[in-house]
Amino acid sequence: MLRKCILTLFLGGIFLLFNQPQAEAAAPRIDGKDRFEVAVNISKKGWSTSKTVVLTNYLAYADALSASPLAYKKNAPILLTQNQFLTPSTKNEIYRLRSKEAVIIGGTGSISNNVINELKSMGLTVTRIDGKDRFVVAQNISRQLSNKGIAVIAYGLNFPDALAIAPYAAKNEYPILLTGNGSLPSATAAALREKNITKTYIIGGEASVSNAVKSQLPSPTRIGGANRFEVAENVIRQLNLSTASTYLTSGMNFADALTGSVLAAKSNAPLLLTTPTYLPNETKSIIQDKIVKSFTILGGPASVNTNSTLLLGKFVVLDPGHGDFDPGALGDGLKEKDVVLDVGLRTRTKMVSAGAKIIMTRDDDTFIPLADRAKIANSSGADTFISIHANSAGSTASGSETYYNTAYNGAASKELAVEIQKEIIKRMGTSDRGVKEADFYVIKYTKIPSILVELGFITNPSDAAKLGSTTYRQKFADAIFYGTVNYFN
């Protein structure tokens, strides 16, 4: 290892100075023990007081799909309730907000007159917006909005498409009107006339809103996708929405997305959808393409699993050392270049699954000069740089060690080194050779927080046995992953 790391080349004028992002806190989460409490905590996040609250049934998404633009217009949170009584946590939040008006969305089958009487006993005036079906409810909500000439059309028999567009529609006060797949409901056609709509956005593919319906709409633009996650992705892409702040919520239920949509609109932020257990490729794609870094997660771990968001919005350069004609250290039938590439690829898989964007200086048996490795890091806009190596010396030398340099971002680099070294020792059981400062080229000339990790000695029989084991290589990758997570948190 010494022969490859003493090398320091004069950079001259190769590199420009970059303003590099520093470590950020993990994505904040607005959650609660149930959907009522999530809605209350969203309300607490966005409103210190509110003259008006909008109430919907916690199970009846059909009535609620069109509510976001009205709630935003009234600067009101959307809260959830039971059918026959006002849910206690919701009632307490209404008191906290010192609200004077409640807007009920849906008929008595969704929210009974018992709830209205309870609200009136609290001193609120109550307005109900209902209709014989969800299409009429949406029409009646649209009548409360200003005429902007633009409307959103979404499939009314499911919720994801309508909720993906809700913050945008709310921010612009565009009504969300509902349709079936094969025919345009009379109430929706009437709303288009009443609102003098001259342009429509169809949210969802042809399986949700057919071309037969599209042909009946004024100046339609379709924002579709193969699934709900891609629809949410394409809402951002086609409307060129800002991703400076972004909300992430489950695409498998409506409650958190609905109640969070108004807060998202207030933050000028779009909604991205995920599954409870993993980030869909479509969601990862937009996060990585837009280099989205600021998130708020809506819902508890049962809705959005923590493991799928541990590195959400983070950007890491992974640098497996050596390659091609440069094998690196040799020992026990192993080549360093092969070991570290495998560990690097395993680390990439782990990090991408947790929401990170990854650049690898090499992902095959290619030789990359040291100057080019540093250049890749410096031009990337990434948060961190991690160079992966294996050590060599006599057969008695053993253990793992991690290096940093103080030329740029020294304190942050040392933090990253400490966290990764700690995880390697804990998971691998190798000797702890510590965290050290050194002038290795790729960390000396990389301007973002950067470290070089020596996994173990390829020339030591015990270390080499671990370096040659696929099980232990995965453990090395896990250690680098969790060390990076600890650093960002």
- Residues taking part in catalysis: 454
Whole-angstrom CA distances from 279 to 242, 285, 302 are: 20, 10, 14
b/e per residue 17-27 (b: at least 16 CB within 10 A)? eeebbebeebb
Q: Which residue has the tokens 């995880």?
A: 423
